[in-house]
Chains A and B, each alone.
Chain A
């Protein structure tokens, strides 16, 4: 059974008088451990799809089964718990809290989940070590380079050991060399078994993924798998 199963998902936004169909009749299955790139031009609905997969948004029609559980009927509290425990987000603009240090930013999901400080410190220390950020633990985001910021964000996304990582244009604000490093980090996580879903309009980036979904006007128009 698929880890992620979307059946007949619709998402409609009301913009003034007109209705915008951001997602139309999406049917999609993603297995655990897959590496999926979602491609498509701006406004094709890829970010909406990602938000939906991350339980930040609800569909207007259809069902979303996450690990066999119907996520569309869950309460807000249960959805928050699933976001906390099963899903990691990586954003284009990093979304680090500017007043907190790198270490504190990484500790945020642990803190929100109510994990005791001792356990928290242990896990943050090991995350800092894994991502080569030990000497940056007490730096605030404005004292870090773009690549370091995204490494902090990825460390934060993985510190709860999620089953799936959702990355929205993770290299969009980075130069090519730094972007390459960040993608290697994400791919290494995928290699360790974490499902990785990357939204991008960068063809080169998309080409790295084992499976490529192409979206246009809210519908999935292409689903290619790399062979070998």
Chain B
């Protein structure tokens, strides 16, 4: 039998039972669509996180107080003293280092803000004037913290757009007094809406000078120091210079942790890639189920078409011919299901992007290829048994049935 005739015959056989074929194709397409939508979600999460981090600059070096060991609990850790504070002076010293362009110390804490009787819980960040550029933030109104205010601790504040809307409504907050904790501040600027990064929105922040924040929280230690380097290639040498300076300042002990944006990014990238793969694997189970359905439906088809199989044998069809006809039918149904599934999946991912524009839910190409491949593979694999059964039918018995 010619290949084209085998294809045509299988197609006619499939379209001869539209309901059965339709349901089978639907099951297969749901499986493929599940793989595509779920991997789109997983990969979307990965892209989302990477975009979040890229928003705060890729030539960034972050200093954390304390030494974070990756090798689990080390007995030596128990003996060493508690780490020294990462101080505002440490941050100030870093600006002298060659290759450092901007330094933004960060103190974080929560406090209460009140304006004219309105009270609200708020996230307070103490930092320097460089913060605006290091974090790539935009101002909607007024100006940011004044430069060279490391030790002064003036009572000026920059507020997020949500805070402004909630406490001042449509009135301009510039120059207005606010009370944060037990201190009075003057509002000098408002951040643009939509600033993001490091898992928090800047819309609900209030930003004050470092020294002021340290005094408010009655502490010496910084939460982070953000260092912006000249360019990415020099980041490694910059890292070692920063490390050397800080070790010198900390009496020869490395009681802080230096991380680069790249390292964090790569870790997240790796974790989320594995997660996406895992999700794809779970979705692939639905494809295996669809494969078993293919087998079931093809077995029913062989039983229903026993007389036809006997006839084909009487007309001179060999066992391989019969087997091919049924295998091709199974493959066709799987392929059709896979194609419709890709359309469903892409439509689902597009709908996700429509509803959550910030979430880049694009299915990765490997997932589409793997989804279609698995659908075809399971279809063929589970089609083998019914096809063999058809090929091995005894023509005399097959003909007498019907």
Nearest A residue to B15 via CB reads A99
How many residues of B are in contact with the other chain, CB < 8 A?
25
- Cβ-based interface call for B52 (8 A): no
Given A57-B396, A111-B1, A156 contacting B314 (CB threshold 8 A)? no
Q: Is the CB of A109 within 8 A of B308?
A: no
Task: Looking at the assembled complex, report how far the CB atom of A182 sits from the nearest CB atom of chain B, in whole angstroms.
Answer: 18
Number of A-B contacts (CB under 8 A): 67
Q: Is the CB of B318 within 8 A of A77?
A: yes
Complexed CA–CA distance, A145 and B291 (Å)? 41
Given A93-B402, A95-B311, A99-B16, A113 contacting B316 (CB threshold 8 A)? yes
Q: Please encode chain B, from 190 to 227, with 1 for each CB lying within 8 Å of some chain A CB and 0 for all others.
A: 00000000000000000000000000000000000000
- Cβ-based interface call for B259 (8 A): no
- Cβ-based interface call for B118 (8 A): no
Q: Is the CB of B399 within 8 A of A156?
A: no
Query: Which of B2, B315, B321, B399 sits near A109, CB closer than 8 Å?
Result: B315
Given A57-B396, A114-B2, A95 contacting B307 (CB threshold 8 A)? yes
Most buried by A among B310, B319, B396: B396
- Cβ-based interface call for B230 (8 A): no
- Cβ-based interface call for B317 (8 A): yes
List A69-100 residues whose CB lies under 8 Å from chain B: 76-77, 80-81, 83-85, 89, 91, 93, 95, 97-100
Q: Is the CB of A108 within 8 A of B319?
A: no
- Cβ-based interface call for B5 (8 A): yes
Q: Is the CB of A156 within 8 A of B1?
A: no
- Cβ-based interface call for A221 (8 A): no
Chain A residues, Cβ within 8 Å of B9: 111
- Cβ-based interface call for A112 (8 A): yes
A sample of 19 cross-chain residue pairs with beta-carbon separation below 8 angstroms, ordered by A number, consists of A51-B396, A54-B314, A56-B395, A80-B313, A80-B317, A83-B315, A84-B315, A89-B315, A95-B308, A95-B399, A97-B311, A98-B16, A99-B15, A100-B12, A108-B312, A109-B316, A112-B1, A112-B315, A113-B316
